[in-house]
Amino acid sequence: MRVSQAFSQSLKMLMVIAICASTTGCQYLKLGKTPPATKPGPQTGATSPAAAQIGGNWQVSYAVNGETRSAHMTINPSSGGFEGTGNDDADGQNFVIDTGFIAGNTIGFHKRYHVDENPNLPPIVYDGTFEMVSNPSYKGPYMHGTYKLDPGNGQVVAQGDWDAQKVDAQQAAGTGGPPQPQQPPPVVVDPSKPPDLSGKWNAGYEYEFKTFHSRMFLEQDGTKITGHGADNNTNESYQITGVYTFPNIKIIHKYPVLKLSKGKTKPARNLEFRGKVEVVNEPEYQGPRMVGKNIGGGDWMAEEVR
């Protein structure tokens, strides 16, 4: 099942705008897939993969109000964890990294701006997971998770997803802007082989005469689909359940009760998507694509972040 060519092209452009900086190219990094048998198990101390690989130069991407921004940072291990410094690619604003910790495959740190001018500003808290990945575009240490800024009154004023991969010293130094991403050569995929849907996805859908853009993190276990995601337009998060029998797919976004201002709430609700999974080999994208209709009759489409 395919949406019209006009909608497909329009949706693709909107997705690209939502995840790319207009002058620097796409910055969001690919979520690496590691076979379960090779994923590092729970480890602690200096011998864990994170502790051994954390030091060095990193390129970071993080989502802010549906837009993706990038930064570079240099991390130095310490006896109690790690610390470092960095700068945002768009405006060169400096920041420091402190309170870094490693516990098994769990990683976290604080990012602070304007430390000298105002040392009491609340930190941006980064939490996530460390893993080793290997894919056509990148092989090496990889971190990903969520961040939030809490001024201390219990009300989070900013939050989003982030990920990071290691770069060499020349890329980290830069020339006043972020390094241009290197496009891997096209990889021809078998259209007859049922693809595994585990990974990170960009999605777009029409609902109640509006177009929404969304990011999803899916896990496939046989025919069972689970995961989570968030709509970029509203920043509403949801849990995902679904059933996948190639080529048929059904996923349900389960939105919890949302607290609004002045004591008002938005009730919990489910949004169901049905469609087909197809494998495409196009110049700009090779891989699985989900296309179909949602319960409201609107078109939807999702492509894996490659």
Domains identified in the chain and CATH numbers: 5-23+186-304 (2.40.128.120), 36-173 (2.40.128.120)
Mean pLDDT calculated for residue range 148-174: 75
DSSP string, 154-179: S---EEEEEEEEE--HHHHH-SSSPP
Q: Which residues contact 79 (CB under 8 A, 6 or more apart)?
A: none
Mean pLDDT lowest among 36-45, 187-196, 246-255: 36-45
Q: Is the pLDDT of residue 160 over 60?
A: yes
Q: For residue 234, which of 262, 207, 252 has the smallest C-alpha distance?
A: 207
Q: Is the pLDDT of residue 25 over 70?
A: no
Share above pLDDT 90 across residues of the chain, in percent, rounded to a whole number:
43
Per-residue pLDDT of 82-108, as tens digits, reads: 999 999 988 888 999 999 998 888 999
Mean pLDDT calculated for residue range 33-42: 36
Per-residue pLDDT of 130-141, as tens digits, reads: 998 887 778 889
Name the band, by pLDDT with cuts 50, 70 and 90, for residue 171: low
